[in-house]
Structure 1
């Protein structure tokens, strides 16, 4: 048991959020209805087949252009005012990571008065939450773990210019709490007292295990699989940076519950080749949920 585990678990149990937290995830997914096409996206498509493939929780949309052609590509679009849309920063991370791992090649970063966008070349494979993989969760979960291990081993931590600072993530949460408190801003089940208790807990992280270059948002939708169910690549690396590997592992395994249901987390750890670290999993899930 790593130092601080007993304290961690006792406090989490007091919060009603023990190591197997099941808070409602952010709303994101494949569009269930037609999506308005921004003018910039339509211009980029230039008459080619255009399809909305993903809507994220903060209002951005991803489109596929030229499906199944040699020029197939994807464009992420965020209207002005949407949070977390520093596509220039994501392009830098993709450019650096692309020298070592399987990630999309950046074609263009742009913006106008209406919004911003990031255009990338398509990778072979499809998302681990594509309709064909939902009925095969065990295979997808293992590939999620093995793909994450491949990413962590491929990206050179000592040469990485990007940091995913734990202290900055906690400070950002502190800044949010300093604003007028609105219960609607927090996940279901929390009260102000619990938020304050959780914040104190987050200021005292478990001892870091192994520092790697983390994906930063390594959930099932951002992992690509080939037709045989093998890992084929990663997308959406806007939060890439050096951090404890459990910052990725805890959320990657948790995402199987959101996308496939319960019972597949252990397969992610098996695919990665690691035993679960209960304290680190609890810490990084709480940080993710509140952050």
Structure 2
């Protein structure tokens, strides 16, 4: 079946996978998100509200079973969605989570107040980094691991044309050499792994509510998260809100690490 999309993204009709329709039963199904790899998120509303993430088979970049494991681990220390179930069939994989209070930081409510939203994101990120215990984290998001993915993408023919405008002028070989020489770790933390604006939920007063989409969570330098979180405020709110995020987090911008981790994000 196809449904009209009522959120900003996706912007057209969405085919609901059979597995999602089966999970919904008689609940109302609303598509609320499509990521850059074609992964979909649906809201199921009935006696309770649930969210289902679904990804087509053959999308190795998205490991929903791994995300379920990371959510269960992180939930002991920070607010994240509670995992209800996850599974897979020949068509794809899914992850069902319970509703958690808060609005996405890309909700129109927060796009209208970007300064408060950026501050909430910064405070939420600091809470995550201060709360999750590095010495007890079984997950890794290190530069070394991410360089493997960068090399896979290069081998698949990806290059500057696939990167953000800031880096498209770079020579591929020189860019690869550049990410191969990371700066020293400033502070090792358990990183979120995908700190783009939509992945923070905020309360209506602007306070931090929860983190979502923790599929890449693992230990790394805090700037691996910070650089992308601040960058993402430019994409969703416009220029100038990176400063607000850094101030709310409680750190001064580090141009060298910001530049390094943004290039690594594009390449890996």
What TM-score does the superposition give when structure 2 sets the normalisation length?
Answer: 0.92
CA distance in 2, matches of 1:195, 1:241: 27
Q: Which has the higher strand share?
A: 2
Q: In the alignment, is residue 65 of structure 1 matched against residue 44 of structure 2? A: yes
Contact kept in structure 2, 1:88 and 1:109, CA below 8 Å: yes
Residue of structure 1 equivalent to 2:265: 288
Query: Where does the alignment leave 5 or more consecutive residues of structure 1 unmatched?
Result: 1-28
Residue of structure 2 equivalent to 1:54: 33
Matches for 1:26-45 after TM superposition, within 5 Å: 30-45=9-24
Q: 1:246 to 1:119 in 2, by over 3 A?
A: same
Matches for 1:98-117 after TM superposition, within 5 Å: 98-117=75-94
Q: In the alignment, is residue 77 of structure 1 matched against residue 38 of structure 2? A: no
Q: In the alignment, is residue 238 of structure 1 matched against residue 215 of structure 2? A: yes
CA distance in 1, matches of 2:257, 2:215: 23
| Deviation of 1:179 (Å) | 4.3
CA distance in 2, matches of 1:253, 1:140: 12
Stretch moving more, 180-189 or 241-250: 180-189
Residue of structure 2 equivalent to 1:168: 145
Contact kept in structure 2, 1:105 and 1:120, CA below 8 Å: yes
Stretch moving more, 72-81 or 241-250: 72-81
CA distance in 1, matches of 2:216, 2:71: 10
Matches for 1:213-252 after TM superposition, within 5 Å: 213-252=190-229
CA distance in 1, matches of 2:231, 2:174: 22
Equivalent pairs counted in the alignment come to 260
Residue of structure 2 equivalent to 1:96: 73
CA distance in 1, matches of 2:158, 2:126: 39
Q: 1:279 to 1:109 in 2, by over 3 A?
A: same
| Deviation of 1:112 (Å) | 1.0
| Deviation of 1:167 (Å) | 1.0
Contact kept in structure 1, 2:52 and 2:96, CA below 8 Å: yes
Contact kept in structure 2, 1:79 and 1:115, CA below 8 Å: yes
CA distance in 2, matches of 1:93, 1:151: 13
Give CA deviations for 1:248-274 in whole Å, capped at 9, x if unaligned.
000000000110111100000011011
Contact kept in structure 2, 1:223 and 1:234, CA below 8 Å: yes
Contact kept in structure 2, 1:74 and 1:120, CA below 8 Å: yes
Contact kept in structure 2, 1:58 and 1:83, CA below 8 Å: no
Residue of structure 2 equivalent to 1:122: 99
What SS is found at the alignment partner of 2:108? coil
CA distance in 2, matches of 1:209, 1:82: 33
Query: Where does the alignment leave 5 or more consecutive residues of structure 2 unmatched?
Result: 1-7
